[in-house]
Amino acid sequence: MKHLQTRHYHDFSKQAANLIINQLKAKPNSTLGLATGGTPKGMYEVLRHSKGDFSQAVTFNLDEYVGLSANHPQSYRSFMEEQLFEHIDVAFSYIPNGEADDLEVECQRYEQLIKQYDGIDLQVLGLGHNGHIGFNEPGTPFSSRTHVVDLAESTRQANARFFKHYEEVPSKAVTMGIETIMEAKQIILLVYGEDKQEALERLMNGEVDENFPASILHQHPNVTLLSGGVKMPHY
Ligand SMILES: O=P(O)(O)OC[C@H]1O[C@](O)(CO)[C@@H](O)[C@@H]1O
């Protein structure tokens, strides 16, 4: 795992955005895997103002809440529209449909779509405090494919800041599985802020363990960990 460290959020975001822009320069019709959450907002801001050409790119988001309509302000579809798609044109953007009547069928459909594009070239990930990637909570089998998850209490609490009331935070989501994520040809893991210090240390120093989903990334051949805003005395 390659580790790039920055101090300031702007530099961190610029580095992340540059990795995406370089990917598009090398392969304009790349399939990009995208993430939501607070961490990548700066990256999206840089991308919005960049001259990156996304016109041939296809995007797949990692996850979506179950039960929120696409136009709900806190759906990940709304997040992505605001952060990126209203500002730049991509060829196609896919996000799981958390309102599908049959969520199992939706998960299979999402997997098939990714396969049709020959997999994901570059996947962006954030890191949950409990080590989750996408919405794959601790204990999720490393062999998981796109599936429906019960969100951990700590995840719902972490994301409550985006909702008016905690009770509004959905308790389920559809997420790409860990094996789905691991099939991406390249991965960027974004970790920013002091509150991620503990998770970052566990990632760097801990064992590969299903109780800390991000640890599997040590077994991927092409991962860049971008970290910033954390104290790193041990590295
Ligand atoms: O960047 P944040 O807001 O800390 O979130 C980290 C991770 O948690 C999630 O928001 C899910 O809770 C992911 O989408 C994200 O990658």
Q: Delimit the domains of the chain by residue range.
A: 2-192+207-227
Ligand 1: centre distance to CA 51 (Å): 27
> What pLDDT sits at residue 52?
87
ipTM reported for the complex, 2 dp: 0.91
* Distance from residue 123's CA to the centre of ligand 1 (Å): 14
User: What's the pLDDT score for residue 235?
Assistant: 41
Give me the tens of pLDDT residue by residue for the chain, a chain 235 residues long.
999 999 899 999 999 999 999 999 999 999 999 999 999 999 999 999 998 899 999 999 999 999 999 999 999 999 999 999 999 999 999 999 999 999 999 999 999 999 999 999 999 999 999 999 999 999 999 999 999 999 989 889 989 999 999 999 999 999 999 999 999 999 999 999 999 999 999 999 989 999 999 999 999 999 999 999 987 544 4
Q: Which atom of ligand 1 is nearest to the CA of 36?
A: 14
Does residue 43 line the site of ligand 1, with CB under 6 A?
no
| CB of residue 35 inside a 6 A radius of ligand 1 | yes
As annotated, the active-site residues are 63, 130, 132, 137
Query: 2-192+207-227 is classed in which CATH architecture?
Result: 3-Layer(aba) Sandwich (3.40)
Taking the C-alpha atoms of residue 85 and residue 93, their distance in angstroms, rounded to an integer, is 8
Please identify which residue in the block is written with the tokens 């509004």.
168
Q: Which of 9, 124, 127 to mutate to test the pocket of ligand 1 (most atoms within 8 A of CB)?
A: 127
Give the pLDDT score at 171. 95
Does the beta carbon of 36 lie inside 6 Å of ligand 1?
yes
Return the closest-CA partner of residue 123 out of 211, 169, 74, 60.
60
- Tell me, using a 6 A CB cutoff, whether residue 229 lines ligand 1: no
Of all protein residues, the one whose alpha carbon is nearest to atom 5 of ligand 1 is 37
pLDDT at 234: 46
Rounded to the nearest angstrom, the distance between the alpha carbon of 185 and the centre of ligand 1 is 21
Number of the ligand 1 atom closest to the C-alpha atom of 151: 12
The C-alpha atoms of residue 180 and residue 223 are separated, in whole angstroms, by: 15
Could you tell me if the CB of 131 is within 6 A of ligand 1? no
What pLDDT, on the 0 to 100 scale, is given for residue 232? 59
